[in-house]
Structure 1
Amino acid sequence: MDILSVFGLIFGVMAVLVGQSLEGGALSSLFQLTAFVIVMGGTLGAILLQTPWNVFSLGMRMLPWVWWKPLFHTVELHSQVVEWSKIARRDGLLALEPHVARQTDPLISKGLQMVVDGLDARHIHAALQVDIQGYERLSWPAARMWEQAAGYAPTIGMLGAVLGLVQVMERLGDPAQLGSGIAVAFVSTIYGVGFANLLFFPVANKLKFLVQQQIATYEMVVDGLLLISSGENPHFVQGKLEGYLS
């Protein structure tokens, strides 16, 4: 679990609640189901309207990455690629065939199989770059989906505020009912701005960073496989790939 992300979310929310308490306001006034439904429902509707289903579903599956960072095994893969280079140098490329079935990542398995099959490094690079670009084309919009949600939420919050004020105007003759309408109006704005800046924008930026990290890991493996297919010295392979570990 990413403790820093957990602490960041809790700290941000608590800062708002403590600030409300210090000003003498009741915490219960910040919890309005109507405002929550307007902001979250409207934002979700806007995202569904603009986003293809495969991108939306991937974006939702990526959300836990913010707190439970996926294991890209960059260090382990570095050691693995160096070990493959030693095996290939000592026993030949065909000796790597048993390692193909052990790979759980389709891209790495495909690349290693191409090396075992003795394909030219240029063809291996071209094929794997297509796969990496395909991953990027799907994962990057999925991460940016949360950034776009952050753009919609404040506007939907303003819509909720206008709806609340409409209720107030309709109930001017009944002062006892004015409070709920005013509460929805202001809390909707708080929800829109709060969700955008305390959740959606940070989630988007964290996911974009993680996608970049995964792409860099794939590129490290591809570079290693190209060096192996070219018969490079394992020490050279190790040294060149160490730059990715930074």
Structure 2
Amino acid sequence: MDMTTVFGIAAGLLALFFGFVWEGGHAESLFEKTAILIVFGGTFAAVAVSYPLTRLKQIPGALRLAFSRSGADPYELIDRIVAMATVARREGVLALEKEANGMDEPFLRDGLLMVVDGTDPELTRQILMMEIDALERKREQQAKIFESAGGFSPTMGIIGTVMGLIHVLSNLSDPSLLGPSIAVAFTATLYGVAGANLVYLPIASKIKSNSEEHIQTMELMLEGVLALQAGENPQLIRKKLTSFMLLDAENPKAKKVEPDAQEE
């Protein structure tokens, strides 16, 4: 789990809570079940109307993406691809079939199996690029759901506040209750704005951020597969992939190429 997402949301909510309490507010006044129902229920309903069921079913997966770490370590992938390049230069690409079947990354496994099967390099690139594009569109759609929720939430908060004020104005017989009643009404606005800016929109941004890292890693794997298929020198493959990912070649996690991997 990516604790920065959990910590960020929790820190934001706690900052609002303790800031309110330290100014003399009462903690219980922040919890209004009617406002919760109007704001969060209304936001969910608006999102449900905006998207088909097939898109809404992606919400659990989107949340897992937002609260989990990004994919495989690029350095480890580079090391593994370089090792496979060494094997391929010694024994041929057919020797990579066993290595491919043991891959944890489906994208890299599929690419290697296409290489082993002798697929045309241009066709290999096209197929893998189509998979990357499809995943990128899916992630954008998932982020869009939370962006929509972030747009609806403040509006629902205002609606809740207006409804609360209507209730207040219909009961003016007791002026002593006006202050507390108005405060309760404005709680809905707080829920709407806080929900949008501390939950929905940050989650959408995190989905996009994690997706960009994943897509970049997939592009690295694509370049690695094509380099293996072309029979490039392992040392050159490492330099290409390291530069491609804008990684520091001197990072201690990046292993040095073995001398025999540099042979032509």
Residues 3 and 104 (structure 1 numbering): CA distance in 2 closer, same or farther, change over 3 Å?
A: closer
Does structure 1 residue 32 correspond to structure 2 residue 35?
Answer: no
Instruction: Kindly indicate whether the alpha-carbon contact (under 8 Å) linking 1:74 and 1:217 is maintained by their aligned counterparts in 2.
Output: yes
Show structure 1 runs of 5+ residues with no match: none
User: What whole-Å deviation, never above 9, does each CA across 1:168-210 have from its counterpart, x for those lacking one?
Assistant: 1222235587567534420000000011111111111111000
After superposition, where does 1:89-100 map in structure 2 within 5 Å? 89-100=89-100
User: What whole-Å deviation, never above 9, does each CA across 1:142-182 have from its counterpart, x for those lacking one?
Assistant: 02321221111101100111111121122223558756753
Which segment is superposed worse, 168-177 or 101-110?
Answer: 168-177
- Structure 2 match to 1:122: 122
- Structure 2 match to 1:132: 132
Take 2:177 and 2:51, find their aligned partners in 1: how far apart are those partners? Answer: 39
Q: How does the TM-score come out when normalised to structure 2?
A: 0.86
Instruction: Kindly indicate whether the alpha-carbon contact (under 8 Å) linking 2:66 and 2:203 is maintained by their aligned counterparts in 1.
Output: yes
Instruction: Kindly indicate whether the alpha-carbon contact (under 8 Å) linking 1:75 and 1:245 is maintained by their aligned counterparts in 2.
Output: no
Paired amino acid for 1:11: A
Secondary structure, counterpart of 2:58 in structure 1? helix
Output the aligned Cα RMSD.
2.0
Which segment is superposed worse, 152-161 or 70-79?
Answer: 70-79
Q: How does the TM-score come out when normalised to structure 1?
A: 0.91
Structure with the higher fraction of residues in helix conformation: 1
Instruction: Kindly indicate whether the alpha-carbon contact (under 8 Å) linking 1:164 and 1:183 is maintained by their aligned counterparts in 2.
Output: no
Show structure 2 runs of 5+ residues with no match: 248-264
- Structure 2 match to 1:21: 21
- Structure 2 match to 1:162: 162
After superposition, where does 1:75-224 map in structure 2 within 5 Å? 75-173=75-173, 181-224=181-224
Identity %: 38
Take 1:168 and 1:127, find their aligned partners in 2: how far apart are those partners? Answer: 62
Instruction: Kindly indicate whether the alpha-carbon contact (under 8 Å) linking 1:120 and 1:229 is maintained by their aligned counterparts in 2.
Output: no
- Give the count of matched residue pairs: 246
Take 1:82 and 1:94, find their aligned partners in 2: how far apart are those partners? Answer: 16
